């Protein structure tokens, strides 16, 4: 199944994309695609619904993050060998973990904000894993059974804030709009092998990243098992599994970073596409 949320930011409604590619409102079935609707029993009930009976959504509404009430957004760093090398670092012996603020989450076509003082804003196409059940210290052989589905993600990063301002990476990862997710949550039963998904990202029409989750250093079962040793993963939590080579920081002969007016297009095989325009933001709230 492809689960979506549509509407203005903060007022999204749940929807499904039927087999004919028609967007249908699902608010008569569920209040939202939040933690309570992502478990196997809840998803199985939805799976056996006659989708043709759901109201059709006309036009091209804004799409939001397909998961409501995300509790945690857990990032994994340097999880592709070629990306570690382009960053001038050795691939890690254990997964590197960091957190992104959930306020960074935005929709798959929303503008990317370049905040005041930011001058090294970078792109990172990634596979996102959405948890479907509470998970604590799970073994690798049971880890995938805890997954509700998968999403396309872009781990936007301000590199100077991430590595030159002291402390942890989180400050370079968490500005508003730095975590676009979607367009869809594709349920796990439709992804035969999450380790064979093609990932691509273009900036201003130029292909920058072109790889596959087959190249992950730590695969998804290992990541889930590893992370669950340190924290409880809840339904609706999202794991960003890392990015391959081709980020702006790694460009030769000099790094290339995003600026106002730049456009990004990114895709993950079977998980849809995102399109973003970058914009400067100056106001404070």
- Going residue by residue through the chain (285 aa), what tens digit of pLDDT does each one get? 999 999 999 999 999 999 999 999 999 999 999 999 999 999 999 999 998 999 999 999 999 999 999 999 999 999 999 898 888 888 899 999 999 999 999 999 999 999 999 999 999 999 999 999 999 999 999 999 999 999 999 999 999 999 999 888 999 999 999 999 999 999 999 999 999 999 999 999 999 999 999 999 999 999 999 999 999 999 999 999 999 999 999 999 999 999 999 999 999 999 999 999 999 998 665
What pLDDT does residue 88 have? Answer: 83
Distance (Å, rounded) from C-alpha 48 to C-alpha 110? 32
Distance (Å, rounded) from C-alpha 17 to C-alpha 8? 18
H/E stretch holding 195 = none
Domain 68-280: assigned CATH number: 3.90.850.10
Which CA distances in Å does 221 have to 36, 76, 96, 131? 23, 13, 15, 12
What pLDDT does residue 89 have? Answer: 82
Point out which residues pair with 205 in neighbouring strands: none
Q: Which two tokens stand for residue 33?
A: 């695609």
The residues near 252 (Cβ < 8 Å, ≥ 6 apart) are none
Strand order in the sheet with 272-280: 112-114, 272-280, 263-268, 198-203, 206-212
Q: What are the domain boundaries of the chain?
A: 68-280
Half-sphere exposure of 251 (CA within 13 A, CB side): 16
What pLDDT does residue 195 have? Answer: 97
What pLDDT does residue 223 have? Answer: 98
What pLDDT does residue 82 have? Answer: 87
- CB atoms under 10 Å from CB of 56, counted, come to 10
What pLDDT does residue 284 have? Answer: 61
What pLDDT does residue 283 have? Answer: 63
The residues near 42 (Cβ < 8 Å, ≥ 6 apart) are 30, 36
Q: What is the pTM of this model?
A: 0.96
CA proximity to 246, closest of 255, 258, 259: 255
At 70, phi and psi to the nearest 5? Answer: -60, 125
């Amino acid at each position: 199944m492809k689960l979506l949320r549509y509407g203005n930011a903060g007022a999204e409604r749940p929807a499904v994309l039927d087999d004919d590619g028609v967007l249908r409102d699902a608010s008569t079935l569920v209040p939202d695609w939040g933690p309570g609707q992502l478990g196997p029993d809840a998803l199985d009930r939805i799976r056996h619904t006659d989708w043709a009976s759901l109201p059709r959504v006309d036009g091209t509404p804004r799409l939001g993050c397909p998961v409501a009430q995300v509790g945690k957004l857990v990032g994994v760093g340097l999880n592709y060998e070629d990306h570690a090398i382009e960053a001038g670092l050795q691939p890690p012996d254990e997964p590197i973990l960091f957190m992104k603020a959930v306020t960074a989450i935005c929709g798959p076509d929303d503008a990317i904000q370049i905040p005041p003082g930011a001058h090294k804003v970078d792109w990172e196409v990634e596979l996102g894993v959405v948890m479907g059940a509470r998970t604590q210290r799970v073994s690798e052989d049971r880890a995938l059974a805890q997954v509700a589905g998968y999403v396309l993600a872009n781990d936007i990063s301000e590199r100077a804030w991430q590595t030159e301002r002291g402390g942890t990476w989180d400050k370079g990862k968490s500005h508003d709009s730095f975590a676009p997710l979607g367009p869809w949550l594709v349920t796990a039963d439709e992804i035969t092998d999450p380790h064979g998904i093609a990932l691509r990202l273009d900036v201003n029409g130029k292909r920058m990243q072109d790889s596959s989750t087959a190249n992950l250093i730590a695969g998804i079962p290992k990541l889930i098992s590893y992370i669950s040793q340190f924290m409880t993963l809840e339904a609706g939590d999202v794991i960003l599994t890392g990015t391959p080579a081709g980020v702006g920081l790694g460009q030769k002969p000099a790094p290339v970073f995003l600026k106002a007016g730049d456009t990004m297009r990114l895709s993950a095989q079977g998980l849809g596409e995102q399109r973003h325009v970058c914009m400067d933001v100056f106001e404070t709230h």
